[in-house]
């Protein structure tokens, strides 16, 4: 049912970090200077201690070493999606989204994989054990070709930014997605891609002219489970009551 996932660097690394150490619920209004003094990083209303990223570094660096060795000895061409698959295998934790993606051979693309803690770790590794290369063009070819060869293409896009555009642009290669659901809180009046309505994507050929796309103005972590529960999951449980 799911052919691939496209996500941010944060969407990758925080999935693994939560398996290594807890993230805490805080408040949007907590004072940044006080948190900095305590060594706590705020992501919206979530709180991540600095030590979590230390644990992440200790976990991920040996994996980068293994990848570099394979690159040298086996001429392995690493891409962001292959790196994510390797990390999904290594985490070996069913609480991880990418554990299940790797287990089910679902590729996870992240065109801006260096834009976060993973990028920091790759930067550090480039000094500790230089030479690891990630081929972003191979991933671009892979994603765009998946869209081109799809009999039908449907997209569910949570949030916006580079991920939203990357998914839509892949569908430009096939003259548009057949089905599209956008779910975010952004408005179009600042000209951002995040806020752009589906009709703008139609004008580019990223969604088909005859499609009936929908944009839901809502918070994704609240609404997406409800959408899944009333559609894919509902049909699954009707077919397989167990």
Q: What is the pLDDT of residues 147-201, one digit of tens each?
A: 999 999 999 999 999 999 999 999 999 999 999 999 999 999 999 999 999 999 9
Distance separating alpha carbons of residues 40 and 68, to the nearest angstrom: 32
Give me the percent of the chain exceeding a pLDDT of 90.
94
- Give the residue numbers annotated as catalytic, written as ranges: 206
Question: pTM above 0.75?
Answer: yes
pLDDT reported for residue 238: 73
Report helix, strand and coil shares of the chain as percent, to nearest 5: 55, 15, 35
Confidence of residue 16 (pLDDT cuts 50, 70, 90): very high
Retrieve residue 27's tokens: 């408040």
pLDDT reported for residue 236: 74
Residues in the chain: 242
Residue 29, pLDDT above cutoff 70: yes
**What average pLDDT does the chain have?**
96
pLDDT reported for residue 64: 98
Residue 242, pLDDT above cutoff 90: no
Contacts 24+ apart (CB under 8 A), 150-156: 150/3, 150/174, 152/178, 152/179, 153/177, 153/178, 153/179, 154/178, 154/179, 154/180, 155/179, 155/180, 155/181, 156/181, 156/183, 156/227
Do strands 108-109 and 154-158 pair parallel, antiparallel, or not at all (unpaired)? unpaired
């Amino acid at each position: 049912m799911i052919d691939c996932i496209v996500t941010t660097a944060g969407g990758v690394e925080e999935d693994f970090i939560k398996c290594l150490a807890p993230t805490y619920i805080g408040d949007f209004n907590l004072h940044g200077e006080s948190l900095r003094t305590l060594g706590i990083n705020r992501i919206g209303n979530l709180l991540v201690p600095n030590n979590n990223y230390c644990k992440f570094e200790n976990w991920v660096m040996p994996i980068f070493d293994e990848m570099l060795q394979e690159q040298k000895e086996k001429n392995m061409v690493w891409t962001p999606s292959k790196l994510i698959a390797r990390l999904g295998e290594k985490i070996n934790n069913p609480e991880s989204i990418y554990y299940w993606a790797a287990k089910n051979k679902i590729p996870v693309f992240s065109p801006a994989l260096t834009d976060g803690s993973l990028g920091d770790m790759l930067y550090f590794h480039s000094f500790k054990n230089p030479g690891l290369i990630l081929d972003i063009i191979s991933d671009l070819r892979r994603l765009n070709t998946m869209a081109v060869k799809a009999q039908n293409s449907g997209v569910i896009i949570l949030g916006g930014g580079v991920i939203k555009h990357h998914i839509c642009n892949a569908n430009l290669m096939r003259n548009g997605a057949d089905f599209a659901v956008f779910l975010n809180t952004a408005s179009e009046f600042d000209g951002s891609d995040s806020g752009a309505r589906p009709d703008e994507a139609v004008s580019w050929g990223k969604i088909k002219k005859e499609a009936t796309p929908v944009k839901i103005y809502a918070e994704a972590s609240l609404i997406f489970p409800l959408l899944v529960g009333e559609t894919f999951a509902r049909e699954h449980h009707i077919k397989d009551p167990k």
